[in-house]
Amino acid sequence: MDGFSQKEEQRLLKTLQQESDNLGLVERRKFLKNAMVMVGAGAVVAQTGSVIASSNLPPAVPSWSRKLGDGVLTNPYGLPSDYEKDTIRRTVGWLTPDRISSISMTPLHKLKGIITPNGLAFERYHGGLPDINPDEHRLIIHGLVERPLIFTMDELKRFPSVSEIKFLECPANGGMEWKAPQMEGLQFTHGMLSCCEWTGVRLSTLLDAVGVKPEGKWILAEGADGSGMTRSIPMEKALDDAIIVYAQNGEALRKEQGYPIRLMNPGWEGNTCIKWLRRLEIGDKPWYQREETSKYTDLMPDGRARKFSFVQECNSVITSPSPEVPLKVKGWYEIEGIAWSGKGKIKGVDISLDGGVSWRPAPLKGMIISKCLTRFSYMYNWQGEPLLLQSRAWDETGYVQPTFKQLRAERGGNSIYHRNAIHTWKVHSNGSVQNAQLS
Amino acid sequence: MDGFSQKEEQRLLKTLQQESDNLGLVERRKFLKNAMVMVGAGAVVAQTGSVIASSNLPPAVPSWSRKLGDGVLTNPYGLPSDYEKDTIRRTVGWLTPDRISSISMTPLHKLKGIITPNGLAFERYHGGLPDINPDEHRLIIHGLVERPLIFTMDELKRFPSVSEIKFLECPANGGMEWKAPQMEGLQFTHGMLSCCEWTGVRLSTLLDAVGVKPEGKWILAEGADGSGMTRSIPMEKALDDAIIVYAQNGEALRKEQGYPIRLMNPGWEGNTCIKWLRRLEIGDKPWYQREETSKYTDLMPDGRARKFSFVQECNSVITSPSPEVPLKVKGWYEIEGIAWSGKGKIKGVDISLDGGVSWRPAPLKGMIISKCLTRFSYMYNWQGEPLLLQSRAWDETGYVQPTFKQLRAERGGNSIYHRNAIHTWKVHSNGSVQNAQLS
């Protein structure tokens, strides 16, 4: 297993894929995980690690081993190591006229697994970040209901709760790339994306409580922020999987995410997941508010607009290598990435090394959860050749992530939203990685 | 569904349980979740939420809706709301002579779902918190191997990675309760426990790389902290599911958790998961170092010591209500808790309202993952009666969480470790909750 050719490696992976197809889901995952490790172990060791010699030994006793450190509780609420100070959310100065109606992005290139830590989850405000006292906050549900009700936070928390790991994405994610590739970095091409464990009450539970009248078909969700952000939500979604969320990755919802409560519509545009939620009004038709007419609609080539394009369709991107994670030396690498779909589970991912001329399967790894980030992985022995790296995901509905050409042909060039096209990283022979777009 | 008697409620839950037994695992979970919500919705609404009236309306436009908030990037690395400033790790002053060799505990009563956010994961040091420069840190693997190797962090990260959600627990968790119940609060009775998504390289992958000799049966893992913390790990565990971890909930491992790398032995004593890992030595027998002889052994009634009691056996606790989460008014509540087992998946949980005289099933909810926190839930209509609340979990191996009496009969009263007995909360008629212990 001390290294093998690209052809051998392809054959091996194909065999593994075939063998895995004969197993059940859980077994298959376990098998593929083990198989990848097996392939990887032999592969990477040929180039990784050094035989121990006096020249590469660290000090016998490093400075930090020679003294006692700080005791517990210097940080009752802990923070990352100072050595990780570059792992932060970032914004783009020119993107919006002001930072109170702007966005900051998740450093996807620094993240592993599927959970986004709360301190790094992307933020988007329409009128700045309100600082809400939870004791004074109320949720009102009214309109076409039998019993209009008003809830304190304590009351909401007495309902049975659910906890689910779901991705959250702004429909403008990748929006700066509709004309030409201009953002140099994964954090800026795909960073309006995070994935957390959300806990709260099913919206359907609260709707049971108020008793929706038969003519109630839409819900206006309103935020308590300075912009009074509103969206119209169809009753079907509310009764399906929407959650009134008060916790994120175990702890209270972060301010940036809508403290003390937000609406969570799994798999749907982030802006529909109204933050700082204060009011739900049941009506018989949508309201056509500002943020669902002038914004968050997609102007099509014929001048008409796609409205209520709620679903974040299947998408994927390679996180390593990427502009922020270049290839430093020749040898074996785990080409890794994330895939997600607002319609359900990721079913598979292919990757291409030649800009989409040929494709090979990239096994999924770890948990595969509906409307959640899913990791894919492909072991590759890079010997300095230039690459046009792409990933193409599809979901359990059969929807396949489109090429940019296909997407552009259908949607034209007016919209900034829902750009879920296959993404290209150009790997140069020096290992640097550049954002590219194939016509 | 507007409220029902305890008898009706029991019958309902029994029916749900029976119906669910006829379904497959995934379907069963979905069914039970929906069923619980259904039961809960009707139940809670009878006492929760108020009909809207002028007397209970918040200001038409609260203060935070009347102004624009701060813009994005005031906190590139985000923090919780100031209103959550009590959600922190806490220590107990008298527990240890000094804070550099002490512990701080997770506020379990504040947490939802299964993920512990990194800032709240319990911390335990034996010689203070080292501040390690990852560029200078090395991992050495040597001893009974074909090719002793030394790895930089960059090199470790080139191996294929795995990400898994696993609990981590100190074997001293609950140790202050062996004599009598003395800790007033869930944070102190069970808070040496957290659950995160851990990412790293399988230890078996690295052992493949160095080539373990046939006589290599044990591994000494050594930390780079001031205490030079060491433990002997059997080869079976290393080859099974141990991971050399460098990320936690997506981001780099926190300093308190062993930045830049630690050993993770899923389901085993936290102290075996050596933090700030610098050295793995392969040997043919255990080393019997200080922290596996004078500490982390269990002195039995006959004067002999249980050694290498690695596994954290099946345990559970009710998180709500608890001393920190009293019952404030009469009515319906979701009695909720967490269960975990170092041997695999949680199979079921019963709860008792009468100190173990009678038991009723508490449905599991959310994901059920091996060696991971699992939530259970039971809807209950409290009318001011005193309760002796208990939970009893069992795992897929058939191991059932013991009573304190059973555990005490087997282990005596000398040890402070591995107290996984059924825990009792005494609920008083005023709704306050007290730590109790039944003889």
| Judgement on whether residues A352 and A418 belong to the same structural domain of the protein | yes
Q: Which helix (H) or strand (E) holds B42?
A: helix B25-45
B332: chain A residues, CB-CB within 8 Å: 158
Which pairing describes strands B149-151 and A251-252: parallel, antiparallel, or unpaired? Answer: unpaired
pLDDT at residue A7 in the model: 56
CB under 8 Å to A410, separation ≥6 — which residues?
Answer: A402
Query: Are A163 and B165 contacting, i.e. CB atoms less than 8 angstroms apart?
Result: no
Confidence of residue A265 (pLDDT cuts 50, 70, 90): very high
| Judgement on whether residues A354 and A429 belong to the same structural domain of the protein | yes
Q: In what order do the strands lie in the sheet with A424-427?
A: A360-361, A346-352, A387-395, A424-427, A433-436
| Judgement on whether residues A140 and A242 belong to the same structural domain of the protein | yes
User: Of A180, A189, A168, A437, which is closest to residue A324 (Cα–Cα)?
Assistant: A189
User: DSSP for B74-122?
Assistant: S-SS----GGGTT-S-B--GGGSS-GGG-EEB--GGG--SSPPPGGGS-
| Judgement on whether residues B336 and B260 belong to the same structural domain of the protein | no
For B392-433, what is each residue's pLDDT tens digit?
999 999 999 999 999 999 999 888 999 999 999 999 999 999
Could you say which of B232, B265, B296 is where a domain stops?
B296
Q: Could you say which residues from 343 to 402 on chain B have a Cβ atom under 8 Å away from some Cβ of chain A?
A: 365-367, 375, 377, 379
For B116-143, what is each residue's pLDDT tens digit?
999 999 999 999 999 999 999 999 999 9
- A290-299, A332-341, B363-372: range with lowest mean pLDDT: A290-299
What is the arithmetic mean of pLDDT over A376-396?
Answer: 97
B110/A251 Cβ within 8 A? yes
For A355-368, what is each residue's pLDDT tens digit?
999 999 999 999 99
In a mutagenesis test of the A interface, which of B68, B151, B367 is the best target, namely the one with the most A β-carbons within 10 Å? B68
User: Closest chain A residue to B366 measured between Cα atoms?
Assistant: A163
Q: Which domain holds residue A264?
A: 117-306
- Assign residue A388 the CATH number of its domain: 2.60.40.650
User: Of A342, A320, A439, which is closest to residue A389 (Cα–Cα)?
Assistant: A320
Q: Tell me the CB-side half-sphere exposure of residue B246, using CA atoms within 13 A.
A: 24
A162: chain B residues, CB-CB within 8 Å: 33, 37, 365-366
Residue A183 lies in a domain: yes
Query: Are B186 and B317 contacting, i.e. CB atoms less than 8 angstroms apart?
Result: yes
What is the arithmetic mean of pLDDT over A171-193?
Answer: 93
Greatest alpha-carbon pair distance for chain A in Å reads 79
d(CA A434, CA A255): 35
User: Closest chain A residue to B57 measured between Cα atoms?
Assistant: A150
Q: How far is A401 from chain B (nearest CA, A)?
A: 25
A260: preceding bond cis by omega (within 30 degrees): yes
Q: Is the pLDDT of residue B324 over 80?
A: yes
A125/B71 Cβ within 8 A? yes
Query: Are A351 and A362 contacting, i.e. CB atoms less than 8 angstroms apart?
Result: yes
A55 CB neighbour count, 10 Å cutoff: 6
Mean pLDDT of chain A: 90
For B267-301, what is each residue's pLDDT tens digit?
999 999 999 999 999 999 999 999 999 899 999 99
Q: How far is B229 from chain A (nearest CA, A)?
A: 10
What is the arithmetic mean of pLDDT over B201-216?
Answer: 97
| Judgement on whether residues A329 and A289 belong to the same structural domain of the protein | no
- Assign residue A127 the CATH number of its domain: 3.90.420.10
For A157-177, what is each residue's pLDDT tens digit?
999 999 999 999 999 999 999
d(CA A89, CA A108): 9
pLDDT at residue B11 in the model: 52
What is the arithmetic mean of pLDDT over A363-387?
Answer: 97
B99/A52 Cβ within 8 A? no
Residue B338 lies in a domain: yes
Q: Which tokens hold the place of A380?
A: 């590759």
Q: What is the count of structural domains for chain B?
A: 2
Could you say which of A263, A284, A306 is where a domain stops?
A306
A29 phi, psi to nearest 5 deg: -60, -45
- A33-37, B65-69, B286-290: range with lowest mean pLDDT: A33-37
Q: Which tokens hold the place of A299?
A: 């102007």
Q: Is the pLDDT of residue B28 over 50?
A: no
User: Of B145, B286, B137, B125, which is closest to residue B212 (Cα–Cα)?
Assistant: B145
d(CA B273, CA B267): 10
Helix (H, G, I), strand (E, B) or coil at B180: coil
User: Of B309, B270, B21, B250, which is closest to residue B125 (Cα–Cα)?
Assistant: B270
Q: Residues A92, A94, A98, A103: what is their CA dihedral angle, to the nearest 10 degrees?
A: -30
- pLDDT > 90 fraction of chain B, expressed in percent and rounded: 81
A69/B129 Cβ within 8 A? yes
Q: How far is A319 from chain B (nearest CA, A)?
A: 13
Q: Could you tell me if B84 lies within 8 Å of chain A, comparing CB atoms?
A: yes
ipTM comes to 0.90
Residue B22 lies in a domain: no
User: Of B197, B248, B203, which is closest to residue B373 (Cα–Cα)?
Assistant: B197
For B227-253, what is each residue's pLDDT tens digit?
999 999 999 999 999 999 999 999 999
d(CA A187, CA B344): 37
Q: How far is A113 from chain B (nearest CA, A)?
A: 5
The reported pTM is 0.91
Residue A100 lies in a domain: no
| Judgement on whether residues A332 and A417 belong to the same structural domain of the protein | yes
Confidence of residue A57 (pLDDT cuts 50, 70, 90): confident
Could you say which of A306, A334, A352 is where a domain stops?
A306
Query: Are A134 and A259 contacting, i.e. CB atoms less than 8 angstroms apart?
Result: yes
A161: chain B residues, CB-CB within 8 Å: 112, 334, 336
Residue A57 lies in a domain: no
Segment B302-308 long-range contacts (CB within 8 Å, at least 24 positions apart): B306/B411, B306/B415, B308/B232, B308/B234
Q: Is the pLDDT of residue A275 over 90?
A: yes
pLDDT at residue A10 in the model: 54
Q: Is the pLDDT of residue A6 over 70?
A: no
- A40-44, A280-284, B88-92: range with lowest mean pLDDT: A40-44
Q: Is the pLDDT of residue A29 over 60?
A: no
Helix (H, G, I), strand (E, B) or coil at B90: strand
Residue A396 lies in a domain: yes
Q: Could you tell me if A146 lies within 8 Å of chain B, comparing CB atoms?
A: no
User: Closest chain B residue to A149 measured between Cα atoms?
Assistant: B51
Strand partners, B241: none
Q: Which tokens hold the place of B226?
A: 């001031």
Give the residue carrying structure tokens 């172990």: A41
| Judgement on whether residues B243 and B108 belong to the same structural domain of the protein | yes
| Judgement on whether residues A339 and A392 belong to the same structural domain of the protein | yes
pLDDT at residue B436 in the model: 94
| Judgement on whether residues A168 and A267 belong to the same structural domain of the protein | yes
Query: Are B403 and B153 contacting, i.e. CB atoms less than 8 angstroms apart?
Result: no
What is the arithmetic mean of pLDDT over A8-17?
Answer: 50
Which pairing describes strands B277-283 and B139-143: parallel, antiparallel, or unpaired? Answer: parallel
| Judgement on whether residues B276 and B326 belong to the same structural domain of the protein | no
B84: chain A residues, CB-CB within 8 Å: 251-252
pLDDT at residue B331 in the model: 94
Give the residue carrying structure tokens 């954290």: B312
Q: Is the pLDDT of residue B7 over 80?
A: no
Residue B328 lies in a domain: yes
Residue A70 lies in a domain: no
For A402-420, what is each residue's pLDDT tens digit?
999 999 999 998 889 999 9
| Judgement on whether residues A288 and A333 belong to the same structural domain of the protein | no
- pLDDT > 90 fraction of chain A, expressed in percent and rounded: 81
| Judgement on whether residues B338 and B411 belong to the same structural domain of the protein | yes
